[in-house]
């Protein structure tokens, strides 16, 4: 696990943002229920991976061993999916751009497969090959600045999901041209929730919640059999927008506030429009997506912020996903599947179709 010491000022601010969002997302209303048997007891664990906190609440007889195994699974994924780790399969894939095909682990291949599919079906609003441009912006650096426009435009030619080629038969992948690159950062938290959820099912826990950064995975049921009642964060991640009651699944939030910086009086955020290479300009401040898969939820949340409210609806429907939108004017809209599940509690926002 990484040390929490000696964080830079921007890293500390990022951790504050992430922790605030995580704590809000992990509020479970009606959490004080009768403990009827051994399976009603919970085990809580907090670790640090992927530059964020991994918080688990696990129920069932195997809760402690399952939580430990899930933490290991998340860290293993982080090592193999990172942008710059020495054991990263993504580093190897990018290094072989324009050269050789490489064989990937099944889970890394699955992440790329889902991400590529959303890249294609969103018309490029989300693009897993945006790495050359996103790394130029370097939003995680405390000295972030607007990149040179000529260089940005030059790098845009390397962006396009069609440049990532996947071989399902042997879990192989290649990047077509030297200069292409993928970065799993936008979907890595959801992928981590997938990894932890798979462990919970392997250990047959009765129920579990895992929160990794802006993503949450819900497995099984609460001990009292009721729906998971989760808090949805405001766009800036410092307060609760409302609550949503859902069954097993995944929740992911994307916001124009995270990793943002200001230059010459203008704010620049990390959700880039792959078409322009600049921060997306839509009618949305944030989107929280609920779907069957963590990577899918992450990718759809990102794409929806780029597309805007109206244009994201067909994409969400195509994947059977639902969403909670916060527009620039602080109005809130939800898709039909969450009409009865979402309750707005923040008086600074208003419901509007």
For 31-51, what is the mean pLDDT? 71
Q: Using alpha carbons, select from 167, 158, 70, 49 the residue that is nearest to residue 109.
A: 167
| Residue pLDDT, tens place only, 241-280 | 999 999 999 999 999 998 899 999 999 999 999 999 999 9
| Residue pLDDT, tens place only, 143-169 | 789 999 999 999 999 999 999 999 999
| Residue pLDDT, tens place only, 280-296 | 999 999 999 999 999 99
Question: Is the CB of residue 247 less than 8 Å from the CB of residue 228?
Answer: yes
Cα 308 to Cα 296: distance, rounded to the nearest angstrom: 18
Q: Report in angstroms the alpha-carbon separations of 173 from 122, 164, 176, 194.
A: 21, 7, 10, 21
Within its chain, how far is the Cα of 311 from the centroid?
A: 20
pLDDT at 35: 36
pLDDT at 37: 40
Domains, in order of start, for the chain: 1-353 (3.10.520.10)
Cα 18 to Cα 125: distance, rounded to the nearest angstrom: 24
Question: Is the CB of residue 45 less than 8 Å from the CB of residue 71?
Answer: yes
pLDDT at 27: 47
Q: Which of the four pLDDT bands, split at 50, 70 and 90, describes residue 23?
A: low
% of residues, the chain, pLDDT over 70? 89
Give the residues across from 255 on adjacent strands: 286
Q: Which of the four pLDDT bands, split at 50, 70 and 90, describes residue 19?
A: low
pLDDT at 30: 35
Structure pTM?
Answer: 0.90
Cα 59 to Cα 210: distance, rounded to the nearest angstrom: 12
pLDDT at 187 over 90: yes
| Residue pLDDT, tens place only, 297-315 | 999 999 999 999 999 999 9
pLDDT at 8: 55
| Contacts of 346 by beta carbon, 8 Å cutoff, 6+ apart | 234, 239, 240, 241, 242
pLDDT at 346 over 70: yes
């Amino acid at each position: 696990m990484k040390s929490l010491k000696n964080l830079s000022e921007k890293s500390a601010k990022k951790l504050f943002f992430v922790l605030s969002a995580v704590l809000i997302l992990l509020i479970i209303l009606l959490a004080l229920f009768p403990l009827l048997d051994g399976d009603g007891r919970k085990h809580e664990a907090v670790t640090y991976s992927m530059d964020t906190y991994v918080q688990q609440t696990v129920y069932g007889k195997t809760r402690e061993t399952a939580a430990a195994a899930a933490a290991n699974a998340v860290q293993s994924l982080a090592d193999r999916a990172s942008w710059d780790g020495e054991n990263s399969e993504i580093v190897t894939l990018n290094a072989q751009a324009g050269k050789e095909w490489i064989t990937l682990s099944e889970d890394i291949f699955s992440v790329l497969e889902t991400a590529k599919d959303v890249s294609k079906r969103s018309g490029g609003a989300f693009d897993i090959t945006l790495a050359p441009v996103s790394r130029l912006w370097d939003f995680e650096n405390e000295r972030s600045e607007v990149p040179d426009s000529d260089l940005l435009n030059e790098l845009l030619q390397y962006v396009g999901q069609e440049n990532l080629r996947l071989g399902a038969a042997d879990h192989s992948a290649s990047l077509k041209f030297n200069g292409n690159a993928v970065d799993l950062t936008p979907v890595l938290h959801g992928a981590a929730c997938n990894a932890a959820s798979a462990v919970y099912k392997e250990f047959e826990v009765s129920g579990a919640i895992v929160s990794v950064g802006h993503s949450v995975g819900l497995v099984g049921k609460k001990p009292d059999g009721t729906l998971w009642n989760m808090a949805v964060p405001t766009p800036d991640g410092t307060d609760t927008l409302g609550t949503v009651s859902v069954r097993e699944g995944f929740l992911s939030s994307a916001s124009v506030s995270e990793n943002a910086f200001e230059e010459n009086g203008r704010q620049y955020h990390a959700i880039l429009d792959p078409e322009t290479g600049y921060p997306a300009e839509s009618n949305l401040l944030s989107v929280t997506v609920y779907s069957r898969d963590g990577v899918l939820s992450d990718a759809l949340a990102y794409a929806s912020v780029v597309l805007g409210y109206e244009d994201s609806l067909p994409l969400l429907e195509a994947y059977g996903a639902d969403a909670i939108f916060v527009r620039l004017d602080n109005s809130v809209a939800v898709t039909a599947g969450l009409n009865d599940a979402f309750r707005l509690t923040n008086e600074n926002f208003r419901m509007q179709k």
